[in-house]
């Protein structure tokens, strides 16, 4: 997913989500983004094209396929949901954030369901997003991601999860390109989930603990430990996806 005024970040290859820069042992293990789609990395999110989509959806759909219907609100753009967030990325974000970002992270955790693998939106939030559906995506200010800052930027850009890293609203290769991005998203999210679970097991939890809800303090401390373990060079066991 992208966001307001992030064009400067688009100069980096998407797969280089900066959080992974702190974990060089993972670089060879990560699923790699589809390089054939590199033209799609040139999105200028400062001039979001999805805020300009015509209300006449049927007409504009035939011109260029896009991932969501739009038009998006300028204040929300494609940051219109709360992503599931794996433990180690939350820990990295907590450790690196101050000011408004730290407050937004804390508020998000307080309002989320917290597990050893990471955080997911509350049931109410998930239901509201499901009701909104694809047609309503990006069109409700109330469903803006809680991590959007007051200036409309992602406050945890370096630590955003795979769903956000891989969001491309329109592909130069049309529907085929969008499908390829979706495929990559599924791979990256599955990989992050596997990594989050391995961290939990490594730090003493078992499969029986996966559904256990953590308190805010338990979760914050545990997520920091997950980030710390990866930062120490610990290597998970899975191979290249
Ligand atoms: S909808 Fe597209 S152009 Fe707009 S912020 Fe998101 S990725 Fe960028
Ligand atoms: S985490 Fe950041 S990039 Fe992802 S939806 Fe929220 S604000 Fe947007």
Q: Read out DSSP for 73-120? A: PTTTTT--S---EEHHHHHHHHHH--HHHHHHHHHHHHHSEEETTEEE
Report yes or no on 95 lying in a domain.
Answer: yes
- The answer to whether the CB of 43 is under 6 A from ligand 2 is no
CA gap 194, 217 in Å, rounded: 24
Mutate to test the pocket of ligand 1, among 152, 168, 169, 172 (most ligand atoms within 8 A of CB): 169
Report yes or no on 147 lying in a domain.
Answer: yes
Which domain range does residue 35 map to?
Answer: 7-231
Report yes or no on 38 lying in a domain.
Answer: yes
User: Which pTM value belongs to this model?
Assistant: 0.90
Residues 6 or more apart whose Cβ sits within 8 Å of residue 105 = 90, 93, 94, 97, 147, 155, 156
CA gap 74, 151 in Å, rounded: 11
- The answer to whether the CB of 76 is under 6 A from ligand 2 is no
Selection from 203, 223, 204, 206 nearest residue 215 by Cα? 223
Report yes or no on 63 lying in a domain.
Answer: yes
Q: Residue 163 CA: which ligand 2 atom is closest?
A: 4
Report yes or no on 241 lying in a domain.
Answer: no
CA gap 90, 223 in Å, rounded: 6
Report yes or no on 107 lying in a domain.
Answer: yes
**pLDDT, tens digit only, all 241 positions of the chain:** 544 434 344 444 445 456 677 788 887 788 877 778 888 877 778 888 888 877 655 555 445 688 888 889 999 999 999 999 999 999 999 999 999 999 999 999 999 999 999 999 999 999 999 999 888 899 999 999 999 999 999 999 889 999 998 898 988 888 899 999 999 999 999 999 999 999 999 999 999 999 999 999 999 999 999 999 999 999 998 765 5
**In the chain, how many domains are there?**
1
Report yes or no on 180 lying in a domain.
Answer: yes
CA gap 50, 29 in Å, rounded: 33
Cβ 240 vs Cβ 28: under 8 Å: yes
């Amino acid at each position: 997913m992208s966001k307001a005024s992030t064009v400067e970040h688009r100069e980096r290859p998407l797969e280089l989500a900066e959080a992974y820069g702190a974990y060089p042992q993972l670089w060879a293990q990560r699923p790699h983004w589809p390089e054939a789609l590199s033209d799609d990395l040139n999105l200028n999110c400062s001039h979001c094209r999805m805020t300009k989509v015509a209300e006449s959806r049927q007409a504009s759909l035939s011109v260029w396929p896009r991932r969501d219907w739009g038009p998006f609100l300028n204040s929300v753009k494609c940051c219109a949901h709360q992503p599931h967030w794996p433990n180690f990325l939350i820990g990295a974000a907590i450790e690196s954030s101050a000011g408004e970002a730290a407050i937004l992270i804390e508020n998000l955790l307080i309002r989320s369901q917290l597990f050893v693998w990471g955080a997911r939106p509350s049931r109410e939030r998930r239901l509201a997003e499901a009701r909104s559906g694809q047609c309503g995506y990006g069109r409700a200010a109330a469903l803006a991601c809680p991590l959007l800052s007051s200036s409309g930027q992602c406050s945890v850009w370096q630590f955003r999860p795979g769903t956000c890293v891989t969001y491309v609203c329109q592909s130069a290769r049309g529907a085929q390109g969008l499908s390829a991005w979706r495929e990559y998203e599924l791979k990256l999210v599955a990989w992050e989930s596997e990594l989050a679970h391995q961290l939990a097991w490594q730090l003493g939890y078992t499969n029986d603990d996966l559904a256990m809800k953590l308190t805010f303090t338990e979760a914050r401390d545990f997520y920091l430990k997950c980030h710390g373990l990866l930062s120490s060079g610990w290597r998970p066991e899975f191979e290249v996806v």
